[in-house]
Amino acid sequence: MNISFDLDSTIIPNGDEFKTETIGWIGKLFKVEKIRKGSKDLILKLQNDGHKVNIYTTSFRSKSRIRRTLKYYGISVNRIVNQTENQKILKSKNIYSTKYPPAFNFDVHIDDLPGVKIEGGKYNFKTIIIHPSDKNWADIIINELKTI
């Protein structure tokens, strides 16, 4: 499957909402952003299982910055869609949803916001909603993917 992950409050913390992977001195020097503990193992597992992993965010961070952050942790993803591209594509398709994964051929989108699930119901796309406090978030994702 072609899986997309939200960034903020799903992979990258907004404050101290979840535990993060460790950052070495080089990471600190280059001000690498923190990522959720377990992200690397989860993404590598999904890729090993044959899934494609993508980032789909409404953040205006540049794609190269996002790619660099992930690379620091040894993660490489297929495609990155940031808000600049998202707005452009959704506008061209006259879609008034904050996110619309099918526009980028993503089969299922993982996000922290229940509103995205509501949009999924309205626009007919699949979502997995993970709360920042979900400690067994990786297992939830792996199990939910089996039902899709």
The residues binding Mg ion (CB under 5 A) are 6, 8-9, 112
d(C-alpha 30, C-alpha 39), whole Å: 20
Query: Tokens 């916001």 map to which residue?
Result: 113
State the nearest-atom distance from the C-beta of 117 to Mg ion, in Å: 12
State the nearest-atom distance from the C-beta of 112 to Mg ion, in Å: 4
Query: Tokens 């923190």 map to which residue?
Result: 34
d(C-alpha 21, C-alpha 31), whole Å: 14
Question: For residues 47 and 83, which CB has a smaller minimum distance to Mg ion in the complex?
Answer: 83
Cβ burial of 70 (10 Å; 0-12, 13-18, 19+) is buried
Question: For residues 21 and 111, which CB has a smaller minimum distance to Mg ion in the complex?
Answer: 111
Question: For residues 6 and 119, which CB has a smaller minimum distance to Mg ion in the complex?
Answer: 6
d(C-alpha 145, C-alpha 148), whole Å: 5
Structure tokens at 148: 């899709």
State the nearest-atom distance from the C-beta of 6 to Mg ion, in Å: 4
Question: For residues 63 and 131, which CB has a smaller minimum distance to Mg ion in the complex?
Answer: 131
State the nearest-atom distance from the C-beta of 89 to Mg ion, in Å: 19
